[in-house]
A and B are shown apart, each in its own frame.
Chain A
């Protein structure tokens, strides 16, 4: 039994924070109100005006297991999530072996049971070994609860293969998540084509490589009557393409944006800083501005980090050799507060809607609202405190993020899931 006093409660429905106490009994929210009576055996925590919000859910993470446990494991990845106020994740299937069969999915889910304190979901591959050729055995994965199909890390190159997969899997109630990039245009380097690629002397990937596949995959979904979810949009015209299709209303399309694409531009790469190397690449300020506009407007249904850990050794290579990816679970919520909520660009309601409620809806899960009768699944966030993202603070096995050793406003103080306090600072 836990009584949280003097909290300011956030919800997806209103920017106004509700002041009050929350009583949690046996993992459920039993009462919300002002000056609740303190039950005899309750533990009392004075929130002192800190924000109490539904815990986040990240629909795009790379936990690297099996195959790349030197970068991340289910344990370290899920602890990084908890550290950042996230109580559920969807793994991408680009592990080794790839999660392209019921056997592979079953192994991951079995491991997650013992090794994670939060629910870990996984997506499955569209094609065998993500090669874009033969269809993966989709229905077998569905039986184990897989809902999202994706060859993330790569685009399913052959549109005929993707169309068939969509026609096939939609009948099972599954949906498709698309990493959008024409491989022939994008090339191997995660760098935006433009002033920076000229200055650094590295072949760039033009934004049209992304725009084309966004449009292609939505058209394929429309033709197949499928639901397509566009992953980690990085370009202005990519956002506008999704906006246009959504305005037509004749295809089921959802989309996500990652914090790093809202925050950084290719200029930040500076003198070949590999912490800013990820795919899709960072683009220009105009793209950042458009993505923020799209998020506020609702073109993007959700925020997802694309948490992509790599070892310090790998990232300490030269820019061309270093792998693509940026971690995000430890830092996402604090960075959203520091750069957007605190300066008034958007409110807590947007954070809750886009990073807690909508990702759960996408996955067909119950939404974690702070309402009487709901399971306790919440985060207490201190807007007055700061977080310094030291190596010791991060729970991810990798620290390939430009936030390393930086101090931002805001701190995750408490993460509650059901009867358990997962984190207390």
Chain B
């Protein structure tokens, strides 16, 4: 099935996920060759539309697109007006007029990439929208886990940290579950809401979470800047209660667990310095795999065709729903 856009993990089928992960393996093999570039997207254009600051994801996409021989353009977002919805709508019309083939978008407003996708012929890739989804991060996480566990079914991943504000937690947990991996959340009660999906065990106590016997410990970045009201008293306390301290690292090492982190890490908060040198830390593998996974995504999507207008989409959404309610 051809797809125009990659907006979320929730709507991806298992077959599509496995296809993408297989493709990523092939693309990764290119990296050891002296010429890493292939002509798959020659003559195609990729527009980078980042309303939120990002170094890693932005450059990962850029490298991926260039290795596929695509032209990459950065759309310079006027940061002074990014909070105004009006300017986003006008930007969408501008984007459509430019007729680029791919748009990679990051925005603090959940759902906004979907809106762009419905109003452009370009393939839209969600590079993170609010606390909603970050699908390529989930794909690279799954790819990294599969490198260690070729059959990941039944393996357990413990995601630690700020679940409430994390699009990574949402996308990665959804994807891992689709691959048969068990996922649990651990974090402060104020950041792991009680209404997370029932299929995800919720821990607020580190010892209890470790008793669940995870195979991978996945640390989320603590985002102090997203906290309008304090969610925990201090980073020192966070580190002591939920962080990977030296003592905890020793236990993790004894058990042979892997550690992952989407980056950038806060040393002394989510983890102690020693984690960075830990032999089963997959943090740099994740960065490396980000490129091959994003190449696979760009190569897979099919731009063009008819796009339904926003209004038509809304009408179609409603067609079956509320007014036929009980």
> A: which residues have CB within 8 A of B?
184, 187, 193-195, 197-203, 263-264, 268, 270-273, 275, 312-314, 316-322, 338-339, 402-406, 408
Contacts and interface: CB of A to CB of B under 8 A. Distances in A.
A271 B111 contact: yes
Contact of A320 (B109, B193, B229, B310): B109
Contacts of A312: 311
Interface residues of B, number: 34
B316 to A, nearest CB: 10
Contacts of B310: 316
Contact of A194 (B131, B195, B317): B195
Contacts of A263: 322, 325
A198 B195 contact: yes
B323 A317 contact: no
A316 B89 contact: yes
B195 A339 contact: no
A275 B321 contact: no
Nearest to B167: A201
Interface in B87-120: 88-89, 109-112, 114-115
Given A316-B311, A321-B85, A406 B318 contact: yes
B323 A268 contact: no
A99 to B, nearest CB: 27
Interface in B205-244: 228-229
Contacts, number: 95
A408 B324 CA distance: 9
A302 B310 CA distance: 36
Contacts of B133: 201
21 contacts: A195-B195, A198-B195, A198-B197, A200-B110, A201-B129, A201-B130, A201-B167, A202-B130, A264-B325, A270-B317, A272-B111, A273-B318, A313-B89, A317-B88, A317-B89, A319-B111, A320-B130, A321-B84, A402-B322, A402-B323, A403-B323
A308 B191 CA distance: 34
Nearest to B87: A321
B195 A272 contact: no
A334 B102 CA distance: 46
A317 B315 CA distance: 15
A159 B195 CA distance: 32
Ordered nearest first, which 6 A-B pairs have the shortest CB separation? A321-B85, A201-B132, A201-B131, A317-B85, A272-B111, A201-B110
B250 interface: no
A270 B323 CA distance: 14
Contacts of B274: none
B1 interface: no
Interface in B283-320: 310-311, 314-315, 317-318
Contacts of B311: 312, 316
A310 to B, nearest CB: 12
A239 B221 CA distance: 40
